[in-house]
Amino acid sequence: MEEGYTSLPASHLLGSVPAVIAEDKTTSVASEAASTANLHLFPPSNGGYQAPGTPSGADEQTTSSWQGVFSISSYSSYFNVDTDVVVERIISSVYPMNDFYRKIDGNPDLYGPIWISATLMFMLAALGNFGTYLMKKRNDSSTTWTFDVTYVEWSACAIFGYMLAVPAAFYFLLQYFGFRTSLVRLWCMWGYSLFIFMPICLLLVVPVELFRWIIILLAGIASSWFIAVNLKAYTQSSDLMMLIVGAMVLQFALALFIKMFFFP
């Protein structure tokens, strides 16, 4: 049964019972290449099902059915990553270097953004409570531990709201300015850019106010720089300096919000 996983000619049939398809290598390669070529369309328009052997270029696009939004198999092409690929992308997101964008260009994934956001949300809620308690205890040693459960709600709204809204807004702005952009790649990039806040959360627990401010400023700058470099490489022009500066400011504002709300 294990061997069946490594050879997936029927990868486009995910979510249903995998049929034994005796297709030759050429058609499967063609369909897989075509399926990755359609990744810039989000949500997927043709229901995601790429029948083996069909010339899935032009004539699939014409049958744009909205049912693609609701079937799982049409989204599984955005999760086509292995563990080592995800780890490599995470590591390369910490350094604001130029080649992150090239890593995700061929195969943008949504796994990273979703689970980095979820992890960050829980870490903020948990460590925010802990850090607040330590700070209060430092000032007034008679405080008792209280758990503010609204931190969970606030962190969920803040992180997921930011992750959903900001790349979408930039997608529409870039479209308005005439650039052909891909929403999935923007989501992917912004999602991985949040990873740096996770170790920062751990460091922010230390109840020394000056240390906290230094840490969050450094993190904000690094994260904004990451966004700027990748956005610039993506749009490949310098006319949109205002947009890029706007993205940097938003990322920095998120860093400040994290510090001021969760670790006051």
Piece in contact with other proteins (CB under 8 A), picked from 98-106, 145-153, 175-183, 212-220: 145-153
Q: Is 70 in the site for other proteins (CB under 8 A)?
A: no
Please identify, using beta-carbon distances, which residue of 132 and 224 lies nearer to other proteins.
132
Residue of the chain from 22, 58, 149, 210 that contacts other proteins (CB under 8 A): 149
Q: Which two tokens stand for residue 78?
A: 């955005």
Under the binding rule (CB under 8 A), the answer on residue 8 touching other proteins is yes
**Position 36 contacts other proteins (CB under 8 A):** no
Judge contact between 15 and 71, C-beta under 8 A.
yes
Nearer CB in complex with other proteins: 125/222: 125
User: Min. distance of Cβ 256 from other proteins in angstroms?
Assistant: 25
Say if CB 143 and CB 137 are below 8 A apart.
yes
- Window 105 to 144, contacts with other proteins (CB under 8 A): 111, 115, 118-119, 122, 126, 129, 144
Q: Which is nearer to other proteins, 145 or 176 (CB)?
A: 145
Cα(151)–Cα(110) distance, integer angstroms: 25
Least Å distance between CB 106 and other proteins?
A: 18
Burial code (b: 16+ CB inside 10 Å, e: under 16) for 157-182 equals: ebbeebbeebbeebbebbeeeeeebb
Neighbours of 260 (CB within 10 A): 10
Residues 151-170 that bind other proteins (CB under 8 A): 152-153
Rounded CA gap, 151 and 128, in Å?
Answer: 8
Q: Does residue number 3 form part of the binding site for other proteins (CB under 8 A)?
A: no
Yes or no: say if 213 and 135 are a contact pair by the CB < 8 Å rule: no
Could you tell me which of 205, 122, 130, 196 has the C-alpha nearest to residue 159?
122
> According to the binding rule CB under 8 A, does residue 78 interact with other proteins?
yes
- Report angle CA 99, 101, 102 to the nearest 5 degrees: 70
Residues in contact with other proteins by CB under 8 A are 2, 5-6, 8, 11, 14-15, 18, 72, 75-76, 78-84, 86, 111, 115, 118-119, 122, 126, 129, 144-147, 149-150, 152-153
